Structure 1
């Protein structure tokens, strides 16, 4: 059986770090992960995926990742259930992360470069756009690798 998950997304709010009675660190967080397609209005939608991470990785994530941080995680899907105070069975689906990786520097996170997009809005870019000047590029057939 295989149960592997790899996600890349932005942390939706600051990571919540707690400790169990046995003093194990556990952090809960939610990732906004963009879908591959756009809706009828041309907007990209996102899924908000609940995640949990344990031990030293939990403490590291809580110290480094803040709301809006772009991270990658690897882990597995877990479904658990419990009975709430009203006696109802509640099912929870979440990703249990084994590890995470920061995917941008703090400077990029705090000060994204603004560039006009073709639709008249703006988009965040982590690098300067070489085509922003609007100048025509002269490319010879001899310059192409094919």
Structure 2
């Protein structure tokens, strides 16, 4: 079985191209950074994965995802090995995406991007679906889900 589930943020805006021919197909390529659960000094804090999606899903990626968007995806790992111009074998993997979902609310996404219109600032008692826990009155702290 080849099944992979990842949650992370897009490292750059997706690149979308359309195949040639009568029935053109959208192909979206993007990469995500996935935080490591346990961080050790001197080691990277995240792993980076190159991802590809096709068709309607690629059109969704083009329309709604941008750098910094937190997503949850499932797919499969595919070897993407080749020989470069110098004759050296290059080994890499590609995530072929089956499903994509947003992993945070639009408000939380804007907050993580460093932008939040004052009119949309969350109140401490907002519902869980907005990415914040219900907090009893009198507590001024926001607790985002991770």
TM over 0.5: yes
Structure 2 residue aligned with 1:4: 3
Note the aligned Cα RMSD (angstroms).
3.0
Kept after mapping to 2: 8 A contact 1:37/1:44? no
Find out whether 1:59 has 2:59 as its counterpart: yes
Structure-2 change in CA distance of 1:75 and 1:128 (3 Å): closer
TM-score (ref. length: structure 2): 0.70
Structure 2 residue aligned with 1:30: 31
Task: Note the C-alpha offset of 1:111.
Answer: 2.2
Structure 1 residue aligned with 2:126: none
- Secondary structure of 2:67's match? coil
Structure 2 residue aligned with 1:110: 110
1:77-96 aligned within 5 A: 77-96=77-96
Q: 1: CA distance between counterparts of 2:37 and 2:87?
A: 39
Structure-2 change in CA distance of 1:20 and 1:88 (3 Å): farther
Structure 1: which 5+ residue stretches go unaligned? 114-125, 135-146
Higher strand share: 1
Structure 1 residue aligned with 2:69: 69
Q: 2: CA distance between counterparts of 1:87 and 1:40?
A: 36
TM-score (ref. length: structure 1): 0.70
How many residues are matched? 122
- Secondary structure of 1:32's match? strand
1:18-56 deviations in whole A, cap 9, x for unaligned? Answer: 112242111111111011102238x98110111111111
Runs of 4+, deviation exceeding 4 Å: 128-134
Structure whose CA Rg is larger: 1
